[in-house]
Amino acid sequence: MGTRFDKLGAVIAAIAAYACLFAPFATFRANRIVPGEARSMLESLPPAAGWALMAIVTAAALVALLRTPLMLRLGASLAALVALAVLIGVAGSFLTPQDNTYARVSPAHGFWLLVFAFTLLLADVLTRLALSPWARMLTLAGAAACLGLLLASGSWDSLSILREYAGRADSFRAEGGKHLTLALGSLAAAAIVGLPLGILCHRVDALRAGVLNVLNVIQTIPSIALFGLLIAPLGWIAAHVPGAAALGIRGIGTAPAFLALFLYSLLPVVANTVVGLAGVPRAANDAARGMGMTGRQRLLRVELPLALPVILTGIRIVLVQNIGLATIAALIGGGGFGVFVFQGIGQMAMDLVLLGALPTVALAFAAAIVLDAVVELTSIRKSEVPS
């Protein structure tokens, strides 16, 4: 008997059952700051749509629970997720009274649990399908396109997050740009400085321990403390070094945020460069010298290509970490999606918090998938290192 059930499927079905029967699907508030009223799935949707969603979710949960073919599980998870995505929009317009611009409808935890459960199912299927790196990136692009389509179609416009967005479209775009500039810019700076530093550490034994220790210590300073620590010296520089202020260097704002992210990024880049270069087979290095390569040729043609997958793994860590950390930059006026998070916390408006948090999570997730795929593509060839 036990063998007919899927273990993960049982968890998914349990979550789905709880979310359908006992948890609220949507929350209705008369305006954006009053406490919300919970609405169940059937209360949130027109009767036909409500029962249809109930049926789809039940069927998908059953598919998950039983041992079913992979393709069926894939179809079930996609159907459930698409139905949830479309119908939460319908719930928004269904619950909002006509011409009422103050009322707010937002997804409640029942909805989020369902999304979580079927994303889990989808992730499990994708893992078991063992997609190639290119297929994974294509899947990601497909998912992004679907999301873009849903947003552009306006079917979510009546949801509270998009209501918050509607009033802030311009600043959303600006802060998004700043967020990316902070995360990617500090990564680029860290790569430009960290790669040569890592190569130097690899070649000069005396330097290695010292540099890595200093970077390790920096890594342990809590981010808020590091932002704070940088305010005083940067403020001093702005006041005393001619031209610094003109360059945008100030005690608060983008400069300290950028610098802090840069400092955090250095350790993974340098450490992975050192580890990657140390992992180059001795025989390959020896052969390179024996064939008459100069130090530079050996570095560019043998050492770096062989260390690349490890170095890229470091870059992946940094990118995902920076996309998350850049949120904190808003605390010292550095901008980014964090602006909405902290405004939202200040105004007790959770929808505004989500407006900042969701794109951050999505970006980090996408960055992780893309870089994992790139790492795999670069390391395919040396699946085994000759002795």
Partner 1 sequence: MIEIEGITKRYGESTVVDDVSMVIEPRSITVIVGTSGSGKTTLLRMINRLVEPTSGAIRLDGADNRSLPGYELRRSIGYVIQGHGLFPHRTVAENIATVPLLLGWDDERIRARVEELMSLFQLDPGEFSGRYPHELSGGQQQRVGVARALAAGPNVLLMDEPFGALDPIIRNKAQEDLLAIQKRLGTTIVLVTHDMEEAVHMGDRIAVMDGGRLLQYDTPDRILAHPASTFVDTLVGASEKPFRLLSLGRVGDAVEEGPAEGEPIAADASQRDALAELLWSGRPALPVRNANGRLIGKVTVDGLVRRAACPA
Site residues, partner 1 (CB under 8 A):
281, 283-284, 286-294, 297, 302, 305-306, 381-387
- Smallest gap from Cβ 306 to partner 1, in A, equals 6
Nearer to partner 1 by C-beta: 47 or 386?
386
- Smallest gap from Cβ 296 to partner 1, in A, equals 10
Contact between residue 126 and residue 119 where contact means Cβ atoms under 8 Å apart: no
- Cα 65 from Cα 68, distance rounded (Å): 8
- Smallest gap from Cβ 293 to partner 1, in A, equals 6
- Smallest gap from Cβ 360 to partner 1, in A, equals 36
Nearer to partner 1 by C-beta: 75 or 305?
305
Nearer to partner 1 by C-beta: 132 or 213?
132
Label residue 35 exposed, middle or buried (CB < 10 Å: 0-12, 13-18, 19+).
Answer: exposed
- Smallest gap from Cβ 274 to partner 1, in A, equals 19
Q: Which residues of 150-169 are buried (b: 16+ CB within 10 A; e: fewer)?
A: beeeebbebbbbbbbbeebe
- Smallest gap from Cβ 345 to partner 1, in A, equals 49
Nearer to partner 1 by C-beta: 305 or 359?
305
In Å, how far are 2, 14, 77, 243 from 5, measured between CA atoms?
Answer: 6, 13, 17, 69
Nearer to partner 1 by C-beta: 204 or 287?
287
- Smallest gap from Cβ 277 to partner 1, in A, equals 14
- Smallest gap from Cβ 134 to partner 1, in A, equals 20
Q: Which residues of 281-305 are buried (b: 16+ CB within 10 A; e: fewer)?
A: eeeebeebeeeebeeeebbeebbbe
- Cα 17 from Cα 58, distance rounded (Å): 8
CA 222 to chain centre: 20
Q: Which regions of the chain does DSSP assign to beta strands (E)? A: 26-29, 37-39, 104-107
Nearer to partner 1 by C-beta: 79 or 284?
284
In Å, how far are 38, 227, 327 from 232, measured between CA atoms?
Answer: 48, 10, 21
Nearer to partner 1 by C-beta: 174 or 293?
293
Residue type, 36: G
Nearer to partner 1 by C-beta: 269 or 302?
302
- Cα 174 from Cα 134, distance rounded (Å): 31
- Cα 142 from Cα 385, distance rounded (Å): 36
- Cα 372 from Cα 366, distance rounded (Å): 10
